[in-house]
Structure 1
Amino acid sequence: MMQSLAALPTVSDKTSVFGATELGLAMPGARPASSAAPTSNFGDLLAQMAGQMRDTVKAGEATAIAGIQGKASTQAVVEAVMSAEQTLQTAVAIRDKVVAAYLEIVRMAI
Structure 2
Amino acid sequence: MIESIGGLTGLSGMAPSLQLRPPQGSGPAAKVSAAGQADFAAALKAAADRAVNTLQTAETVSMQAMLGEANIQQVVDKVMEAERTLSTALAIRNKLIAAWQEISRMQI
Per the normalisation by structure 2, the TM-score is 0.68
Q: RMSD value over aligned CA atoms?
A: 1.6
Structure 2's unaligned 5+ residue stretches are 8-37
Identity %: 38
Higher helix share: 2
Question: Equivalent residue of 1:6, what SS?
Answer: coil
Is contact 2:65–2:71 with CA below 8 Å preserved after alignment? yes
2-structure distance, mates of 1:45, 1:8: 13
Q: How many residues in Structure 1 have an aligned counterpart in Structure 2? A: 78
Answer yes or no: is 1:79 the counterpart of 2:77: yes
**Where does 1:1-110 land on structure 2 (aligned, <5 Å)?**
2=1, 5-6=2-3, 8-9=5-6, 41-110=39-108
Structure 1's unaligned 5+ residue stretches are 11-39
C-alpha spacing 1:7/1:83, structure 2 compared with 1 (3 Å):
closer
Equivalent residue letter for 1:49: A
Structure number with greater Rg is 2
- 1:45 deviation in Å? 0.4
Per the normalisation by structure 1, the TM-score is 0.66
